[in-house]
Structure 1
Amino acid sequence: MAEYSSLLSDLSDNITNEDLEQLKSACKEDIPEEQSNNITSSKEWFTYLEKNDKLAQDNMSYIEHIFEISRRPDLLTRVIEYRTTVLKISEDDEIDTKLTRIPSAKKYKDIIRQPSEDEIIKLAPPPKKV
């Protein structure tokens, strides 16, 4: 449970008020507008999601989806790391579990690492005008 609390704290520290509005907007189908207006911090947002069974220590798929559609690969990466190290759900297990969204995990995995020298495409200089 300590790792889960630590993860939520870390995520909260990296969500600005502007980010929070974007995340709440991404959840508008699941959070009624009057409830959404009462959420003023990322901690309150996480608490709301927990109370409404959208987030749990062993179920991160909803926020993975929200971070993906909100274009926050940095936050998504932290959730994926938690899932693989704390929950011990490896890539091979992802296919058999409902705890994750496979496309998001696989899509962002390669973004995180830097390409090797062989993977970098070098372009030829533009042709000289005559």
Structure 2
Amino acid sequence: MSEYSSLLTDLAEVITVEDLEQLKGACKEDIPEGQSAGLSCSRDWLSYLEKHHKLAQDNLSYIEHIFEISRRPDLLTRVVEYRTTVLKISEDDEIDSKLTRIPSAKKYKDIIRQPSEDEIIKLAPPPKKA
């Protein structure tokens, strides 16, 4: 299985039915209402985007945009990680690459990542009762 296929499988597994309705709503200008109703699962939605040239192995800008306007930094981060590790396109290169139109995607990496041990604020124990 290619890394692109793995990305799509991963996305399809984490997008719930509720998420799908929100994502389809974000695409309403690009998916006619009659066709949107027929997209009942995330795999159907991703396949539709591929068939209509909105999503491809080297064209992730549309789906990144949809994830950003849908306020899904978790999904956006997965796509950004694929782009930076597999396609070797960093945030510094993305403006020139035309593969994404979201230079702000970098901000989501900090939201999703786990804090280091030094960044965790440790609270003092509660005072003892007299």
Question: In which range does the TM-score fall when normalised by the shorter chain?
Answer: 0.7 to 0.9
Q: Equivalent residue for 1:91?
A: 91
Encode CA deviations 1:53-100: one digit per residue, 9 max, x unaligned.
100010111010101111111110000000001101012211211111
Q: CA deviation at 1:41?
A: 0.7
Which secondary structure does the structure 1 equivalent of 2:97 belong to? coil
Q: Equivalent residue for 2:37?
A: 37
Q: How is 1:1-130 mapped onto 2 (pairs within 5 angstroms)?
A: 2-114=2-114, 117=118
Amino acid aligned to 2:33: E
| Contact map agreement 1:22 1:70 (CA 8 A) in 2 | yes
Amino acid aligned to 1:74: D
Which secondary structure does the structure 2 equivalent of 1:96 belong to? helix
Structure 2 unaligned segments of length 5 or more: list them: 122-130
| Contact map agreement 2:95 2:103 (CA 8 A) in 1 | no
Amino acid aligned to 1:73: P
Q: CA RMSD in A?
A: 1.9
| Percentage of matched positions with identical amino acids | 79
Q: CA deviation at 1:112?
A: 2.4
Tell me the TM-score normalised to structure 2 length: 0.84
In 1: Cα distance, 2:76 partner to 2:104 partner: 8
Encode CA deviations 1:7-44: one digit per residue, 9 max, x unaligned.
00000000111110000000000000000011101011
Amino acid aligned to 1:97: S
Tell me the TM-score normalised to structure 1 length: 0.84
Point out 4+ residue stretches in structure 1 off by more than 4 angstroms: 114-120
Amino acid aligned to 2:5: S
Structure 1 unaligned segments of length 5 or more: list them: 121-130
In 2: Cα distance, 1:29 partner to 1:104 partner: 23
Greater alpha carbon shift after TM alignment, 106-115 vs 30-39: 106-115
| Contact map agreement 1:67 1:75 (CA 8 A) in 2 | yes
